[in-house]
Amino acid sequence: MSWTDERVEILKKMWGEGQSASQIAKELGGVTRNAVIGKVHRLGLSNRAGSGGAKADAKPKAEAKPKPAPKPKAEPKAKPMPEMKTEPAVPPRPAGATNRKAIIPAGQPLPPQPSANEISPEALAKVNEVEKKAKKLSLMELTERTCKWPVGDPATEHFWFCGLPVQSGKPYCEAHVGVAFQPMSSRRDRRR
DNA sequence: CCCTGATTCGC
DNA sequence: GCGAATCAGG
């Protein structure tokens, strides 16, 4: 594949949108993210500026600068959410497998299932979808980078761990991180 | 380990 | 000009 005008256009557009090089490469097809990055540089648009404009000069071209490229480090994920099924879905189950004596399945600190907390409906919906794609790993199959979000009731067969790739150093995949680490919401409900 | 972009350098 | 290999982070 070569860099035709169209392809360059797409490249520019996506890069401008903050898409990652790998995403762009995937979109274009026939190229690797390296190719994309290389092209980006050759085109001289290594910097994803654009918003706010205000910036015309600032090109002292300091050779002695080990880091001439400021890293924006921000990816606005503007994903158009297509209408998803009206599925109330199955919110995270507290999985209270209290075997007679309420024994907590030791092991890892299970996620504080937010039960009926106020979680973004979107987040919940996302989790739902994710559960469909879950790899359904068993406890022993979990690794450092598999989502450890439990699904189902440990006392039944309907139990597995999400198992999708975790986001970062977090224990869960992106979707589950979303519902797991929710800032404590209305808390002052302390009507004692 | 996964990912990101940045740079280099033979082609 | 191109992009794989490599580098440098997160």
Side-chain half-sphere CA neighbours of A169 within 13 A: 0
Please give the mean pLDDT across all residues of chain A: 67
A50 touches strand C (CB under 7 A): no
A168 CB contact with strand C at below 7 Å? yes
Chain B positions within 7 A of any protein Cβ atom are 1-8
Which positions ≥6 away from A162 have C-beta within 8 Å?
A130, A131, A134, A135, A137, A146, A147, A148, A149, A150, A151, A172, A173, A176
d(CA A70, CA A131): 38
**Per-residue CA distances from A90 to A84, A151, A169, A171, A176 (Å):** 15, 10, 26, 21, 13
pLDDT, residue A96, reads 40
Residue A40 has pLDDT above 90, yes or no: yes
Q: What is the pLDDT of residue A151?
A: 87
Report the SS3 class of residue A22. Answer: helix
Do residues A130 and A162 make contact, with C-beta atoms less than 8 angstroms apart? yes
Protein CA at A39 to nucleotide C1' at B11, angstroms = 16
Q: Distance between CA A67 and CA A41 in Å, rounded?
A: 15
Q: Is the CB of A65 under 7 A from strand B?
A: no
Q: Is the CB of A182 under 7 A from strand B?
A: no
Q: Mean pLDDT over residues A153-171, rounded?
A: 81
Assign A49 a pLDDT band (cuts: 50, 70, 90): low
Q: What is the pLDDT of residues A52-111, one digit of tens each?
A: 443 333 333 333 333 343 434 333 434 444 444 444 444 444 444 443 444 445 554 555
DSSP class of A165: B
| Nucleotide lying nearest to A31, CA to C1' measure | C3
Q: Tell me the pLDDT tens digit for each residue of A134-157.
A: 778 888 877 777 888 888 888 888
Domains contained in chain A, CATH given = 1-57 (1.10.10), 114-191 (no CATH)
Residue A61: half-sphere exposure toward Cβ, Cα within 13 Å: 0
Range name among A10-14, A21-25, A92-96, A121-125 with the lowest pLDDT average:
A92-96
Nucleotide nearest the Cα atom of A34 (by C1'): C3
